[in-house]
Amino acid sequence: MIDKLSQRAERLSRELDAAFRNRADLYRLFYAELEAEFGAAKAEEIMVRAVGRRGREVAEAAFADFGPNDARAIGEAFLSVSPDDGRMYPTDVLRSETSIEFKVKRCPLKDAWVEAGVSDEKLATLCRIAGAFDRGLFEATGVRFANVTWKPGHGDGCCHIRLTDREAADRE
Protein backbone atom coordinates (compact mmCIF):
# COMPACT_ATOMS: atom_id res chain seq x y z
CA MET A 1 0.00 0.00 0.00
CA ILE A 2 2.75 2.46 0.93
CA ASP A 3 4.62 1.61 -2.27
CA LYS A 4 1.52 2.37 -4.37
CA LEU A 5 1.00 5.67 -2.55
CA SER A 6 4.63 6.58 -3.08
CA GLN A 7 4.40 5.74 -6.77
CA ARG A 8 1.21 7.77 -7.09
CA ALA A 9 2.76 10.74 -5.33
CA GLU A 10 5.77 10.60 -7.64
CA ARG A 11 3.52 10.37 -10.71
CA LEU A 12 1.42 13.31 -9.54
CA SER A 13 4.58 15.32 -8.89
CA ARG A 14 5.74 14.68 -12.48
CA GLU A 15 2.29 15.55 -13.83
CA LEU A 16 2.23 18.78 -11.85
CA ASP A 17 5.65 19.74 -13.17
CA ALA A 18 4.43 18.97 -16.71
CA ALA A 19 1.36 21.17 -16.18
CA PHE A 20 3.54 24.09 -15.13
CA ARG A 21 5.81 23.51 -18.14
CA ASN A 22 2.71 23.52 -20.33
CA ARG A 23 1.77 26.88 -18.81
CA ALA A 24 5.26 28.10 -19.74
CA ASP A 25 4.82 26.89 -23.30
CA LEU A 26 1.49 28.70 -23.55
CA TYR A 27 3.08 31.95 -22.30
CA ARG A 28 5.88 31.52 -24.87
CA LEU A 29 3.47 30.82 -27.73
CA PHE A 30 0.98 33.56 -26.79
CA TYR A 31 3.87 36.02 -26.56
CA ALA A 32 5.19 34.95 -29.99
CA GLU A 33 1.77 35.42 -31.59
CA LEU A 34 1.18 38.77 -29.93
CA GLU A 35 4.71 39.92 -30.77
CA ALA A 36 4.21 39.04 -34.45
CA GLU A 37 0.90 40.92 -34.50
CA PHE A 38 1.65 43.97 -32.33
CA GLY A 39 5.40 44.12 -31.68
CA ALA A 40 7.42 43.13 -28.62
CA ALA A 41 6.51 46.04 -26.34
CA LYS A 42 2.76 45.77 -26.91
CA ALA A 43 2.86 41.96 -26.63
CA GLU A 44 4.56 42.21 -23.24
CA GLU A 45 2.18 44.95 -22.09
CA ILE A 46 -0.90 42.85 -22.96
CA MET A 47 0.44 39.73 -21.31
CA VAL A 48 1.56 41.58 -18.18
CA ARG A 49 -1.94 43.02 -17.82
CA ALA A 50 -3.63 39.63 -18.22
CA VAL A 51 -1.23 37.68 -15.99
CA GLY A 52 -1.31 40.40 -13.33
CA ARG A 53 -5.08 40.37 -13.42
CA ARG A 54 -5.04 36.62 -12.75
CA GLY A 55 -2.74 37.21 -9.78
CA ARG A 56 -5.24 39.71 -8.36
CA GLU A 57 -8.07 37.20 -8.82
CA VAL A 58 -6.15 34.56 -6.90
CA ALA A 59 -5.31 37.05 -4.14
CA GLU A 60 -8.99 37.80 -3.57
CA ALA A 61 -9.54 34.25 -2.36
CA ALA A 62 -6.11 33.31 -1.03
CA PHE A 63 -5.36 36.43 1.00
CA ALA A 64 -8.80 37.80 1.86
CA ASP A 65 -8.08 37.57 5.61
CA PHE A 66 -4.83 39.55 5.44
CA GLY A 67 -4.11 43.25 5.35
CA PRO A 68 -1.37 45.63 4.23
CA ASN A 69 0.65 45.11 7.41
CA ASP A 70 0.64 41.31 7.27
CA ALA A 71 3.58 40.88 4.87
CA ARG A 72 5.26 38.09 6.77
CA ALA A 73 1.99 36.21 7.35
CA ILE A 74 1.10 36.55 3.67
CA GLY A 75 4.52 35.23 2.73
CA GLU A 76 4.21 32.30 5.10
CA ALA A 77 0.74 31.49 3.71
CA PHE A 78 2.19 31.65 0.20
CA LEU A 79 5.00 29.27 1.15
CA SER A 80 2.57 26.87 2.83
CA VAL A 81 0.77 26.23 -0.47
CA SER A 82 3.85 26.15 -2.69
CA PRO A 83 3.31 23.35 -5.23
CA ASP A 84 4.66 19.91 -4.39
CA ASP A 85 5.52 20.97 -0.83
CA GLY A 86 7.89 23.64 -2.16
CA ARG A 87 9.90 21.28 -4.35
CA MET A 88 8.66 22.91 -7.54
CA TYR A 89 9.84 26.37 -6.52
CA PRO A 90 12.60 25.84 -3.95
CA THR A 91 13.46 29.09 -2.21
CA ASP A 92 15.86 30.64 0.22
CA VAL A 93 13.74 32.63 2.67
CA LEU A 94 14.78 35.62 4.76
CA ARG A 95 12.38 36.70 7.49
CA SER A 96 12.12 39.73 9.72
CA GLU A 97 9.37 41.01 11.96
CA THR A 98 7.82 43.14 9.19
CA SER A 99 8.98 41.47 5.98
CA ILE A 100 9.75 38.26 4.16
CA GLU A 101 11.96 37.73 1.15
CA PHE A 102 12.06 34.79 -1.26
CA LYS A 103 14.98 33.98 -3.49
CA VAL A 104 13.60 31.41 -5.89
CA LYS A 105 16.26 28.90 -6.85
CA ARG A 106 14.31 27.00 -9.54
CA CYS A 107 11.26 27.76 -11.65
CA PRO A 108 9.61 25.19 -13.93
CA LEU A 109 8.52 27.99 -16.25
CA LYS A 110 12.08 29.23 -16.70
CA ASP A 111 13.31 25.65 -17.06
CA ALA A 112 10.82 25.05 -19.89
CA TRP A 113 11.82 28.24 -21.68
CA VAL A 114 15.50 27.38 -21.44
CA GLU A 115 14.78 23.87 -22.77
CA ALA A 116 12.79 25.42 -25.64
CA GLY A 117 15.93 27.33 -26.59
CA VAL A 118 14.64 30.88 -26.15
CA SER A 119 17.27 33.61 -26.23
CA ASP A 120 18.39 35.30 -23.02
CA GLU A 121 16.54 38.47 -24.08
CA LYS A 122 13.28 36.60 -24.64
CA LEU A 123 13.85 34.60 -21.43
CA ALA A 124 14.10 37.87 -19.49
CA THR A 125 10.89 39.09 -21.14
CA LEU A 126 9.01 35.89 -20.32
CA CYS A 127 10.24 36.05 -16.72
CA ARG A 128 8.94 39.64 -16.43
CA ILE A 129 5.59 38.49 -17.81
CA ALA A 130 5.40 35.58 -15.37
CA GLY A 131 6.44 37.93 -12.55
CA ALA A 132 3.32 39.99 -13.24
CA PHE A 133 1.33 37.21 -11.54
CA ASP A 134 3.31 37.72 -8.32
CA ARG A 135 2.94 41.49 -8.62
CA GLY A 136 -0.84 41.20 -9.01
CA LEU A 137 -1.06 38.59 -6.25
CA PHE A 138 0.89 40.48 -3.62
CA GLU A 139 0.06 44.09 -4.50
CA ALA A 140 -3.63 43.21 -4.17
CA THR A 141 -3.01 42.68 -0.45
CA GLY A 142 -1.68 46.21 0.03
CA VAL A 143 1.77 45.15 1.27
CA ARG A 144 4.84 46.69 -0.32
CA PHE A 145 6.09 44.42 -3.07
CA ALA A 146 9.47 44.33 -4.77
CA ASN A 147 10.44 41.79 -7.39
CA VAL A 148 13.59 41.30 -9.41
CA THR A 149 12.98 38.81 -12.19
CA TRP A 150 15.73 36.89 -13.97
CA LYS A 151 17.82 38.67 -16.58
CA PRO A 152 21.20 37.89 -18.12
CA GLY A 153 23.88 38.03 -15.43
CA HIS A 154 21.34 37.19 -12.69
CA GLY A 155 22.77 33.71 -12.18
CA ASP A 156 21.15 30.30 -12.16
CA GLY A 157 18.23 31.13 -9.91
CA CYS A 158 15.05 32.91 -10.74
CA CYS A 159 13.16 35.83 -9.21
CA HIS A 160 13.69 37.53 -5.87
CA ILE A 161 10.53 38.72 -4.12
CA ARG A 162 10.32 40.93 -1.03
CA LEU A 163 7.11 41.68 0.87
CA THR A 164 7.14 44.40 3.50
CA ASP A 165 4.42 45.72 5.80
CA ARG A 166 2.91 48.88 4.33
CA GLU A 167 3.68 50.88 7.50
CA ALA A 168 7.20 49.46 8.13
CA ALA A 169 10.28 51.61 7.99
CA ASP A 170 11.94 51.65 4.57
CA ARG A 171 14.65 49.16 5.57
CA GLU A 172 15.13 47.31 8.77
Cα(116)–Cα(136) distance, integer angstroms: 27
Lowest mean pLDDT among 53-62, 80-89, 113-122, 123-132: 80-89
Is 171 inside any structural domain?
no
Q: Which domain holds residue 46?
A: 2-164
- pLDDT single digits (tens) 137-160: 999 999 999 999 999 988 888 999
The reported pLDDT for the residue numbered 169 is: 64
CA angle 21, 25, 30 (to 5 degrees): 145
Determine how β-strand 144-148 pairs with β-strand 99-104.
unpaired
The reported pLDDT for the residue numbered 160 is: 95
Is 94 inside any structural domain?
yes
- Span 41-57, average pLDDT: 98
Q: Which residues contact residue 154 at a Cβ distance below 8 angstroms, ignoring those fewer than 6 apart?
A: 148
The reported pLDDT for the residue numbered 171 is: 52
- Span 89-118, average pLDDT: 95
Is 170 inside any structural domain?
no
Number of structural domains (the chain) is 1
Is 36 inside any structural domain?
yes
Report the CATH number that the domain containing residue 100 is assigned in CATH. 3.30.1380.20
